[in-house]
Amino acid sequence: MEKLKTGFHINFANSSVTRLFEGEPGHLVPSACHFLVESDMFLMAGRMMGHSFLHGGPCLSGLSPAVVHVLLGGNPETSTVTLEDCPDLDIRDTIRLLEGESQLSEKDKMRIQDLGYAWDLPSVTESNRKWVFEKLLIHAVIGRVTRQIKQLRRGLKETPMWTVLTQRPDTAALLLPKEGARNICPEVLLQRITWPQADDDDDDDDDDDDCSADSKCRVSGYLQEFITRATPTELLNLVKFWTGWEVLPTALSVEVTTGRYITASTCFEILRIPCHYKDYTSFQSDLLASVSTCQTGFGLL
């Protein structure tokens, strides 16, 4: 699911990274590349979105509200489209010239006219300025990717999720959450962690390099401090490193062991932390380095 947002490392149309969605966070729209449509890539994306949700997996967040509106059967003319939804910055800058009531230069009029003619729209005048602005914006965001949106819908229809969406429209916010809606609260994360317990044979007089009760308490305290201080992005990466995806499970486990690196058993949702840390700074540095691998290897460093 992360690849749907960041792109697949496959060479489609002479590109090292193939992106199915483009734009700013919270304003993602399907790519206008016709090759992706002809390859049924958005059909695949719709299937992925539906099956991932039904099996308790991560969701595709950050889609433009206008795209979500049309995807679920809404009329493009009634969708709320903003300039931030337009992924092409050159087109966005051209359309932005029509905002407000400032006088347009001849050069600006030519830019708008060339774009309008390409999309079968008339020349801009003082009387139709607002209308042309809306039509250009809707076409830039929705009109160019109508086939892509239809493919996404077809992919969803091939999963039971479409039946859920039609019978319970309120589930759309769960399937396609807004950007930032998946942010993880430190308090909730801390409540779901099973912390290491001191064994009866732990010797408090052992050297700190051994996994004594003192070592377990110290390292556990470092992890609690990290979770309390971490940014939303760092917490999200920590959960991905810990479990393999960003969905927070009902229970997580921490083990303090001997070793050199911080590792995770994602299938069992266990975070293994070496007991050799003596200060928070070195622990934080190593943990940040470890969780940064969550995009490439399920967190095994």
- The CATH number that applies at residue 249 is 3.30.2410.10
Does 14 lie in the same domain as 73?
yes
Does 205 lie in the same domain as 103?
no
> Does the residue 257 lie in any domain?
yes
Does 93 lie in the same domain as 240?
no
Nearest-angstrom CA–CA distance, 172 and 69: 10
Does 76 lie in the same domain as 89?
no
pLDDT at 208: 42
Nearest-angstrom CA–CA distance, 169 and 23: 26
> Does the residue 14 lie in any domain?
yes
Does 160 lie in the same domain as 56?
yes
Q: Print pLDDT tens along the chain (301 aa).
A: 888 888 887 776 666 788 999 999 889 999 998 889 999 999 999 999 999 999 888 888 899 999 999 999 999 999 999 999 999 999 999 999 999 888 899 999 999 999 999 999 999 998 999 999 999 999 999 999 999 999 999 999 999 999 999 899 889 998 999 887 667 889 999 999 999 986 645 554 444 446 889 999 999 999 999 999 999 889 989 998 998 887 888 899 999 999 889 999 988 999 999 999 999 999 999 999 999 887 666 444 4
Does 162 lie in the same domain as 62?
yes
Does 162 lie in the same domain as 190?
no
Chain segment 12-60, per-residue pLDDT in tens: 666 678 899 999 988 999 999 888 999 999 999 999 999 999 988 888 8
Does 249 lie in the same domain as 161?
no
Does 161 lie in the same domain as 46?
yes
3-state SS, the chain, equals CHHHHHCECCCCCCCCCECCEECCCCCEEECCCHHHHHCCHHHHHHHHHHHHHHCCCCCCCCECHHHHHHHCCCCHHHCCCCHHHCCCHHHHHHHHCCCCCCCCCHHHHHHHHHHHHHCCCCCCCCCCHHHHHHHHHHHHHCHHHHHHHHHHHHHHHCCCHHHHHHHCHHHHHHHCCCCCCCCCCHHHHHHCEECCCCCCCCCCCCCCCCCCHHHHHHHHHHHHHHHHHCCHHHHHHHHHHHHCCCCCCCCEEEEEECCCCCEEECCCCEEEEECCCCCHHHHHHHHHHHHCCHHHHCCCC
> Does the residue 89 lie in any domain?
yes
> Does the residue 209 lie in any domain?
yes
- The whole domain housing 120 covers 83-141
Does 153 lie in the same domain as 191?
no
> Does the residue 57 lie in any domain?
yes
Say how many domains are in the chain: 3
Does 203 lie in the same domain as 71?
no
Chain segment 114-127, per-residue pLDDT in tens: 999 999 999 999 89
> Does the residue 181 lie in any domain?
no
pLDDT at 211: 81
Does 169 lie in the same domain as 73?
yes
